[in-house]
Amino acid sequence: MKELRIDLPPEKKNEFGYTPSEEKVIEKQMVKDTSKSRGAFQRLVDQQNHLDKLNKFENRTENKDVVTFDPTTQLFTDDTRNIAFKTYDQAKRWNDTVNGQPTATPKQVNDLDQRLKRNGFTKPIIEKKKKTTTVYPEVKVPTIDVNLFNRPPTPPEPQIPLRDQIKILADERLVREQRAWDRENGKDGITNILRPK
């Protein structure tokens, strides 16, 4: 058998040197959704900066209370692993406290507040908390009548023997069944023979 082969004419190229099939591929590339790739480089840079920030905490120090980043657990822990933080900010605040990093003194805060007021900022840096007084409702303590505890006990009901209790309950049940039978079937005639006794 001979192989059947059809030779197609060569595709015509446009003025830029592309064939129609190549143009379709180029058009697909041009209208492709790139929203996911936008900002990818910036995200990579941010991630690298974050890792650099974490790596600063990886180095262990001689102070046992200082927390450092542990890459295996992805937590900021101290050497004894008694203290753990998830975020960089919490770990930094802890380390600043442990190392005794200086914070703003009251004089510095007041100077900054005065400078801000001179420049037109009216909102205070530290808002003073308003003192609130809680008004509790008046509670009335219940009084107990002492005579309730000094009453003589009431005598117990006389005990009926078990056989007598069973007989009384059986008789009451029989009366109920007979009344129900009478309402349903009547008292006279053949029905009287089948009546519960």
Q: What is the pLDDT of residue 175?
A: 93
Distance of CA 42 to the CA centre of its chain: 32
pLDDT, residue 121, reads 72
- Spatial separation of the C-alpha atoms in residues 107 and 4, rounded to whole Å: 97
Structure tokens belonging to residue 5? 């082969």
Q: Which residues contact 70 (CB under 8 A, 6 or more apart)?
A: 58, 76, 77
Question: For residue 60, which of 80, 40, 31 has the smallest C-alpha distance?
Answer: 80
Per-residue confidence (pLDDT) for residue 171, from 0 to 100: 94
User: Taking a C-beta distance cutoff of 8 angstroms, is the pair 32, 25 a contact?
Assistant: no
CA 50, CA 57: separation in Å to the nearest integer?
Answer: 11
Q: Is 13 helix (H, G, I), strand (E, B) or coil?
A: coil
CA distance 27 to 25: 5
What residues contact 147, with CB distance under 8 A and at least 6 apart?
none
Q: Which two tokens stand for residue 3?
A: 């192989």
How many residues does the structure list for the chain?
Answer: 197
Nearest-angstrom CA–CA distance, 117 and 86: 38
Q: Tens digit of pLDDT per residue, the chain (197 long)?
A: 677 777 777 788 888 888 888 888 888 877 776 666 677 778 878 877 776 666 555 555 566 777 877 777 878 888 777 888 888 888 888 877 777 655 566 777 778 778 778 877 776 666 667 777 888 888 888 888 777 777 777 777 778 888 998 999 999 999 999 899 888 888 777 777 777 77
Contact 79, 64 (CB under 8 A): yes
Q: What's the confidence (pLDDT) of residue 169? A: 92
CA 118 to chain centre: 46
Q: What confidence score (pLDDT) does residue 174 get?
A: 93
